[in-house]
Structure formats: C-alpha cells, structure tokens
C-alpha cells in the first residue's frame, strides 16, 4: 500500500532531477532519460499491475513537465512497459550486456514512437535531430542503465521486496 502513496512523489522527484539537475550538468545538450530505464526495470522486475501503474504515472508526469501533448509519454511508457514485460517472460535478463542492448532497443522504439506521434499530431519532421541529439542520448542512457538497475533494485519499496521471477 505504501507503494501507491510514495510512487507519485518519487516519480515527480525523479523527473525533476532528470530535467533540472541532469539538464544543467549536460548544458541541456543531451537529455539523460532515467525515466525510460525505470520503465524498462519495471517491465523486467515488477508485477504487471504495479509496473503498469508506475509507467502510466511516470508518463503523465513526463507529459506535464516536458510540455508535449498530453498522453505522449503516458502512451509510450505504458506500451514500452507492456512490451518489455512480455519479452521478459521469455528471456534471462540479468546480464549486463543484455540490459545495455535491451535499453538501446527500447530507446529506439521510444524514439520511433516520438517521431511518428510528432508527425501525426504536429506535422513536424524531427528526423534530422535523430543523429545529432537522440543517438548520443541513447548511448549514454544505455551505458548507465546497469548502474541504474542496481540503484532501483536497492530501493526495496519500489518492488516491495518482491521481484518477479522469470
């Protein structure tokens, strides 16, 4: 029960830290998306209801803070969580190279979703920014994802001491 009370505040602090502190450190040139890694962690380690709620709340907070059309990140994060959850039933997800490559793949899926939704709703083509901003950001997030997985695992209330077995 404490999960449902604490998780919105934890996610709000995470997104503010991600955008304010990390944005300042990297001079807003590269955005380090810790939130994406948390969604992937939830898909690999958490139960489906708890992880879905986490992904939806995280997506809505991201929508509010980034200022994009409401529902972009909520849709993207929830769909990535469900995809990762379904894949995690079939794979052994504890090795570091797998976590790095899987984060890279999920980040590419998020980028494709953002490209498609921007094109459909706003009519803008942001494909030119892909190589300049998105790919370096994705490489950084993929390389730090094993460390973030260990950090999220140490937060016991995040999964309430229960880690879903594969």
The residues spanned by each domain of the chain are 2-159
Q: Which of 71, 149, 159 is nearest to 103 (CA)?
A: 149
Q: Looking at the domain 2-159, which fold is it?
A: Arp2/3 complex 21 kDa subunit ARPC3 (1.10.1760)
- pLDDT value of position 86: 93
Per the CB < 8 A criterion, the answer to whether 109 and 83 are in contact is yes
Tell me what pLDDT residue 68 has.
72
> Residue 8: in which H helix or E strand, if any?
helix 2-16
- pLDDT at res. 166: 46
- pLDDT of 85 reads 93
Output the average pLDDT for the chain. Answer: 84
**pLDDT of residue 141 exceeding 50:** yes
Kindly write down the DSSP assignment for every residue of 76-120, as one continuous string: HHHHHHHHHHHHHTTS---SHHHHHHHHHHHHHHHHHHHHHHIII
Tokens read off for 32: 């380090």
Predicted model pTM: 0.88
Confidence band of 2 (pLDDT split at 50, 70, 90): confident
Q: What percent of the chain has pLDDT over 70?
A: 90
Q: What's the pLDDT tens digit per position in 54-75?
A: 999 999 999 998 877 778 899 9
Contact status, residue 75 vs residue 59, Cβ threshold 8 Å: yes
């Amino acid at each position: 029960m404490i999960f449902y009370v604490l998780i919105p505040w934890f996610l709000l602090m995470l997104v503010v830290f991600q955008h304010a502190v990390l944005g300042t450190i990297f001079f807003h040139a590269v955005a380090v998306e810790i939130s994406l890694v948390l969604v992937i962690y939830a898909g690999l380690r958490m139960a489906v209801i708890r992880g879905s709620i986490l992904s939806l709340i995280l997506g809505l907070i991201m929508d509010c803070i980034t200022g994009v059309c409401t529902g972009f990140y909520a849709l993207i994060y929830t769909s990535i969580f469900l995809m990762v959850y379904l894949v995690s039933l079939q794979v052994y997800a504890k090795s570091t190279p797998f976590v790095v490559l899987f984060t890279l793949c999920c980040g590419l899926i998020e980028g494709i979703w953002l490209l498609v939704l921007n094109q459909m709703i706003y009519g803008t083509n942001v494909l030119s920014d892909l190589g300049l901003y998105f790919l370096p950001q994705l490489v950084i997030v993929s390389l730090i994802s094993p460390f973030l997985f260990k950090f999220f695992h140490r937060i016991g209330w995040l999964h309430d001491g229960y880690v879903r077995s594969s």
